[in-house]
Amino acid sequence: MKLRTKMTRTLSALAVMASCGFIGQVQAQESGAANAKAAVNKVSMCIGCHSIEGYKSSFPEVYHVPKIAGQNAEYIVAALKEYASGARSFPTMEAIAKSLSEQDMADLAAYYSNLK
C-alpha cells in the first residue's frame, strides 16, 4: 500500500506541475523536446491494439485495450515508464515499454495526445 500511496502522491505532483507548464520545460531540457512527427515511425507497435474501438487482447487473459488517442501526454509517459520498470504488469506492454528510450516514450506520448 505504501508504494501505491507514494505513486498517487507522485502522480498528483506531476499533474500540478503539468498544469503550471513545468513538465514540458523540464522534458525539453533533459531529453530534447517531444516530437510527434518522430513518432510516426514508432507507432506500429501501438496502433494494432490501441487504435481499434472496443479491442480486447486475449493474452494472457481477455483484457480490454484502451484507445489512447487524446490521452494526456504526461500520463502516457508515466504509464510506459511503469510498464518498463515492472510497476505495471501486462506482458505485451512490458516488452514494448522496455524497448523504448525515454525520447521514444515522449515522442509517442506527443503523437497520441494530439490525436482525437
Q: Provide the whole-model pTM.
A: 0.64
Q: What is the pLDDT of residues 45-92, one digit of tens each?
A: 888 888 767 777 766 567 788 889 999 999 999 999 999 999 999 888
Q: What is the pLDDT of residues 82-102, one digit of tens each?
A: 999 999 998 889 999 999 999
Domain parsing of the chain, residue ranges:
32-113
32-113 folds as Cytochrome Bc1 Complex; Chain D, domain 2 (1.10.760)
Helix, strand, coil shares, percent, the chain, to 5: 65, 5, 30
Asked if 105 and 112 touch (Cβ cutoff 8 Å), the reply is no
